[in-house]
Structure 1
């Protein structure tokens, strides 16, 4: 592979890692921000809902920016906005400024989510082998570092989070993302954007399932340890940290797993492991057993999201297209496909809480059953890879 592709791969890995680091760092500091600004649970929930909805807006905006420029511009713009928003919300002099900065961060979140995945699928097509799992692994390990930073600075004022702004700004200004093709069309014809939406929608269902499970684990897992299996107060984070570590490790090795066994087999085995893991959580007699269940769950569901983006991109790419048209079409589809991320996150946080209002054991039984839908859905992930493109995209 050329030095340009190697540099681009390193840059996109950094982009994924920064996104995970900043997001987890901020979300794990939310109780401190809520205390600083005297926010009720309802007010904090409203701000989080606003952030997720605006992330969807950012993803839609990413399609427009990519069409006029390229996905490198999308990602660089998103990272710059992340840096600016994080600095402002950490140093905000008033609650209104904090809320406005959180809104800007939501838009940036969508831009970076879409931009990193646009770049990742373009590189995967160039390399002509699985790469998406390891890219998403970088996001997960960035999140682990973010959680560690929060723990290490838990006794410091919330203003210390402003230092995080340096990381996305550095990556945005210094990274060599994959450039766009100067011959890429600014507007595609109806024939050029005629992609097979039905199978892409089925892959999107898999994305929704993953984020429902993922959000249930990361949002309600600590509550489960605290209220249901009565873990020591300082250990409730063990619902999330081992989950993230197991997910990150499997994702980093996921490229080779998928190359050897194929996406369908890997997804089916992972779904069965995830269902078993959630059964362990639901039936856990003590907190160590529940932690084991959450750890196995992270390993089981880890590659669903990256393989979903990969399959959607291959379906969008088709065959026999001009490389510039192919890249533009894939970018447009990835920006729209990214919306499934936020749908799943909203459903996961709400459904588990509502169903589990009486007992979180019942709440976690819902994703335990739903994740088994991945077994029949796995067949739609078997898509021929497009021929490698020689032009930059």
Structure 2
């Protein structure tokens, strides 16, 4: 492929990430409306969301099976199509069972797109010899910010108009994603994958998503319960965090090339440790908001660099065809750490902080310390662009 082809593929992959983030945040920010429309209690809503997360994990495993046979680009397009149809069904559902079915299908599509989007970004890194995963994840964050802003701006539109968001993943199916490099049949097996080393990187991904979900899910509640912040300002726990994360991720490609993945993760861990200390000890809600903003700066690059490191480990000492098959399988399975961390962040922070969320946010504060030790597992991420160049 020419450099122009690779640039087009990069734009397409970034667009897929952005659409995924926009659709996901568009749905989650409308959960109160779904809850009112279908008269769902807190327990029922929690059960539906748990179902969606579990099915996203299943969708990721389906992607692992299909990508070697069909190519990750084909499975990504299929996943985006599932997302488009399921969003329309979820929003326009005439009955509660149809709504649940739509959300279940969305969970599967979410997992398919999460897995294959990362497969595409990793393959592009290996093919092009440049760091691209941080900026791709940055596109997801920026898409999420746009989704949140659109939700705020269109709160009074007719409910059926919300279904128009399904047009975005449908349009994204037409993008020129990275085609498989047919370099011959794979010559090694799954047993060659160094899973022990990959699990070490996966633990860092669990830490990130525990911290990330704690901030996104419990941050607004923290401002409301602990500080009694004005109701229309509690979203400031999340929005500055997302903006800071997006900015750092968009700059993350260059930062990684300049600092190296290991050093960047350790610097980010130090910032996150200070940020969470500020959050836990904050005397007022504006100080807590500063802490959440710093937190976004600190942990933003951990997730994309985790995928880079895991893929580099999987692709070592292999011919191109075998490397692509191995990497696709590892990325799909590695994606499960994402959902494990999200569940931990949502459940542990709330459970430990049942008496006070100051104590609850001590959970991510303690866990983020592990990133200093786990950072050494990110060394393979530094080898991808250097080796390709």
Fold similarity call, TM over 0.5? yes
CA spacing shift, 1:373–1:159, aligned 2, 3 Å: same
TM-score by length of 1: 0.96
Corresponding residue number in structure 1 for 2:335? 338
TM-score by length of 2: 0.96
CA deviations on 1:161-219 (whole Å, 9 max, x unpaired) are 201000000011x200001134564x7753x6411111100000000000000000000
Corresponding residue number in structure 1 for 2:155? 154
Query: Equivalent residues in 2 for 1:1-393 (5 A)?
Result: 2-172=3-173, 174-182=174-182, 185=185, 189-190=188-189, 193-319=191-317, 321-383=318-380, 384-385=383-384, 387-388=387-388
What CA distance in whole angstroms lies between the structure 2 residues aligned with 1:337 and 1:231?
38
What CA distance in whole angstroms lies between the structure 1 residues aligned with 2:299 and 2:161?
33
CA deviations on 1:33-68 (whole Å, 9 max, x unpaired) are 100010001000000000000000000000111011
364-373 vs 203-212, which moves further? 364-373
Contact (CA 8 Å) 2:271, 2:294: kept in 1 or not?
A: yes
Contact (CA 8 Å) 2:188, 2:322: kept in 1 or not?
A: no
What CA distance in whole angstroms lies between the structure 2 residues aligned with 1:158 and 1:304?
37
CA deviations on 1:86-118 (whole Å, 9 max, x unpaired) are 011111101110000000000000000001000
What CA distance in whole angstroms lies between the structure 1 residues aligned with 2:23 and 2:330?
26
> What SS does the corresponding residue of 1:228 show, helix, strand or coil?
helix
Structure 1 residue 4, shift from structure 2 partner:
1.5
Contact (CA 8 Å) 1:246, 1:299: kept in 2 or not?
A: yes
Q: Gaps (5+ residues) in structure 1?
A: none
Q: Gaps (5+ residues) in structure 2?
A: none
Structure 1 residue 236, shift from structure 2 partner:
1.0
What CA distance in whole angstroms lies between the structure 2 residues aligned with 1:179 and 1:385?
19
Pairs aligned (count)? 385
> What SS does the corresponding residue of 2:155 show, helix, strand or coil?
coil
Contact (CA 8 Å) 1:69, 1:180: kept in 2 or not?
A: no
Structure 1 residue 130, shift from structure 2 partner:
1.4
Structure 1 residue 154, shift from structure 2 partner:
1.3
> What SS does the corresponding residue of 1:382 show, helix, strand or coil?
helix
> What SS does the corresponding residue of 2:324 show, helix, strand or coil?
helix
What CA distance in whole angstroms lies between the structure 2 residues aligned with 1:74 and 1:212?
28
Contact (CA 8 Å) 1:184, 1:328: kept in 2 or not?
A: no
Structure 1 residue 367, shift from structure 2 partner:
0.5
